[in-house]
Amino acid sequence: MSPSFNLIEAPWIPCVTAEGDIIELGLADVLVNAHNLREIADPSPLVVAALYRLTLAILHRVFGPRGLSTWGELWDAGHWPREPLEQYLNQWYDRFDLFHPQRPFFQTEDSRVRPKSVINLVHSSSNNPTLFSHETEEEAVALTSAQAARELLAAQAFHVAGLSGLTDQKFTDAPCARGVVYLAQGQSLFETLALNLIRYPERSGRYIRTTDNDRPAWEMDDPFVPSRTLPLGYLDYLTWHTLRVVLLPEPSSDGILVRQVTIGPGMQLDADLHDPMKLYQVDKKGQGFKVVRLSEDRALWRNAHTLLALHSDLSSPPASVNWLSELVDEGYLSLETRMRYMALGMNSYQAKVFFYRQEHMPIRLAYLQRQELVGHLARAISLSEDAARSLNWALKTLARLLIAPASDQSGSRQPDDKRDVQPLVKQWGVTRHYWGDVEPLFWRLVESLPDDPEQALALWKDQLWDAAHRAFAHAEELAGPAPAALKAAVEARRRLYNGLRKALQ
């Protein structure tokens, strides 16, 4: 008997219930009971993003919505209608079998490649840090069917470009490999899915133009035909096959396990395609828009103003932000609504993945109708960066006088900035203290700004002043109590005072 694991019925999607418990459900239960669930949850943000993309692809295919009135009927119902969902899932039931002998879900064979450890499914352990397991390729890694299904989805969405082992073809970036996936988050899983269920089909091509042939991959006889770099539409894009991959199941006393896969390059996306779930900003080098990416040195909240800027020539927010604005215009959502944006993604460079992250960003929908508030937010972020530069200037002064106490006198030795001063400042790490202090204060500012912008910005300036001085005090402590250190601290603090006074007043 052939192994089988049908994703419509078998439990594999981890969800948080209204009571806070974590359970695994099949696709049908997740969608039909979404109003009784809080959210999709997994330790990996990549899996979470991939699961939301899958569920949204199904909902778009079944419900559209073609316009606001259709969406409003779904929203007012408070749950997804059971009958059309079950009818659709039953129609394509066999195509959701993870181990179907002819058409396994989200998989296509590549006869040119040989089986290898399943640890290679998401990011090859020979090229990249292992994100989903701490095992090595030589160890016997075994995934349950549920785990294999989740990692398969994440692989098709997040696999990074690199060598494939084939002489004529390389791996290319998956749709979500670069940039951050932004999802509006409601009070329940139903609300989250509904808030991100933007108008479909999109004929204008504002994001991804929809053709008459658009459909999810499981409805296609061959997901790779026709050969293309531009999707047939949004559903094709949400179910894009970056890889030709096949899971190799092994029946065991513990159920079906997956130890090996075959994995080869799949379809290559046009590099200029704009993802409707991502945030883009104008490239300072004049090369059009570039996607906002996760950075180790720059937190996502420092782009909050561009996320909410609906009519700016300098940024292009996710499609859901514009959709929310329309929903407010039509009265489906209140200006007083408070909600969160979920940001999911990873940081990679030259086929290496360094980290992945999931963040939550609270916002008020008032920003979408009062765009002058977005301008105030941009000013607030600019002030925080000006204060950070003043702090860095003072820290470099402290470091320079510690390394060469007479460097403030003409004719004395001056330490090299890159070789001597900057490494010492980085070693102190106090700028991280500054940004760590400022972030929670920023989200309080986001909450209070619509009520009284002038008062909120005045308080924000005071808080930046205090945060910079606290960070500098930490550097003073690390510098020590020696007379030379005390002298250096006096001069550096004077620089900090003057810099902050100029930046914040």
What domains are there in the chain, each with its CATH number?
A: 13-166+210-265 (no CATH), 374-504 (1.10.132.100)
Query: What was the pLDDT predicted at 139?
Result: 54
Residue tagged 């096949």 (tokens): 246
Long-range contacts of 7-12 (CB under 8 A, 24+ apart): 7/96, 7/97, 7/98, 7/105, 7/149, 8/89, 8/93, 8/96, 10/145, 10/146, 11/146, 12/145, 12/146, 12/149, 12/150
**Could you tell me where the beta strands, DSSP code E, fall in 7-131?**
13-17, 22-25, 37-40, 116-117
Tokens of 137: 């390729």
Tell me the C-alpha distance between 149 and 151, whole Å.
6
Q: How far is CA 296 from the centre of its chain?
A: 14
Helix (H) or strand (E) segment spanning residue 249: strand 243-252
Query: What was the pLDDT predicted at 205?
Result: 60
Per-residue confidence in pLDDT tens, the chain, 505 aa: 789 999 999 999 999 999 999 999 999 999 999 999 999 999 999 999 999 999 999 999 999 999 999 999 999 999 999 999 999 999 999 999 999 999 999 999 999 999 999 988 864 333 444 444 444 444 568 999 999 999 999 999 999 998 888 888 899 999 999 999 999 999 999 999 999 999 999 766 667 888 999 999 999 999 999 999 999 999 999 999 999 999 999 998 888 999 999 999 999 999 889 999 999 999 877 778 899 999 888 899 999 999 999 988 889 999 999 999 999 999 999 988 999 999 999 998 777 888 889 999 999 999 999 999 999 999 999 999 999 999 999 999 999 999 988 887 877 788 888 898 999 999 999 999 999 999 999 999 999 999 999 999 999 999 999 999 999 999 999 999 999 899 999 999 999 999 999 999 8
pTM for this entry: 0.92
For 447, residues 6+ apart whose C-beta sits below 8 A from its C-beta are 338, 362, 364
Q: Which amino acid belongs to residue 87? A: Q
Tell me phi and psi for residue 112, to 5 degrees: -80, -15
Q: Which amino acid belongs to residue 277? A: M
| Helix/strand/coil for 292 | coil
Query: What was the pLDDT predicted at 125?
Result: 34
User: 47 and 74 in contact (C-beta within 8 Å)?
Assistant: no
Query: What was the pLDDT predicted at 138?
Result: 46
**Could you tell me where the beta strands, DSSP code E, fall in 317-450?**
338-349, 352-364
Query: What was the pLDDT predicted at 128?
Result: 43
349 - beta bridge partners?
352
C-beta atoms surrounding 451 within 10 Å: 10
Q: Which amino acid belongs to residue 493? A: R
Task: Characterize the bridge pairing of strands 143-144 and 338-349.
Answer: unpaired
| Helix/strand/coil for 202 | coil
Tokens of 166: 């084939």
Alpha carbon separation from 284 to 281, 290, 309 (Å, rounded): 9, 9, 18
